[in-house]
Structure 1
Amino acid sequence: MKTIKSLVVLLGIFAFSQINAQEVTDYDLQNFARAYKEMLQLNNKAQKEMAQIISKEGMDLEVYHAINESKNSDYEPDVPKSEFTKYEEIQPEIEKVQNKLEQEVEKAYSKHDLSKQDYKAIAERVKQDQLLQIKLEKILSQI
């Protein structure tokens, strides 16, 4: 009797995971994979641009990040005041790169027939579903 209950529970879990996997169509997963790959490229490009802006100003990346992270907290990093000045001078350029990235990401969503909400929903489902993870890995390896 115990094995029958275990089998029923296992079948229920398998059926549930199959239902979850079916919520994301192959078409959606293909589009998600293409958008994901494009977003990785866009993000890498933006990260390089921002790193160049920061280093061009003669600022260390770690110092920049420490100051940036302290902006939303009570913590103040132990760095010279001149570094805070550099940070403030750099910020408008960094924000331009970030805004440009956001626009390019929005274009990538629509280019791949997705909305931001669709993309996030698919990403959540993929995180929770091993079958979708396997399918996504296969698609990504073929792109």
Structure 2
Amino acid sequence: MDYIIDLNHAAAEIVSRLPAWTAAGLLPGPITWRDEAASWPQRLEVERVVITDPDSVGVFIQSADERNAVNIVLYQGGWVDLDGLVNDVITAECPKIKSAEEFGVVLDAAIACFLDSPPCPFELGATRPLGRFVS
């Protein structure tokens, strides 16, 4: 796999948004890391220092009532797994990105959808496939 995204910078994008998410009543979980060098099955770790060769970073966020959730994972190869459970509907998106800054855009867009506040390029909770918004 080609490594194009600095996951440490991507983690900083998550960290910078944690206070706003919490203030909005969301329940963000710990930042998780996966180690490319680990034996299969690779475990998710919450301590960056135990990761030798990070290949993903992510965060799981729930609504205050724990009925809705979104899981956002960035892989070093430049794609994001975005999985949401909103209004009892599961949706998924996999945008491709080129930088940690673009990951910040994905985070903001996903949370805007999650909070049902425009603009929302995703259709979390929709019953049709989601469209791309970052090229």
- Shorter-normalised TM-score: what interval? under 0.3
Bigger RCO (CA 8 Å, 6+ sep):
1
**Structure with the bigger percentage of helix:** 1
**Structure with the bigger percentage of strand:** 2
Report the TM-score when normalising by structure 2: 0.24
Greater Cα radius of gyration, structure 1 or 2: 1
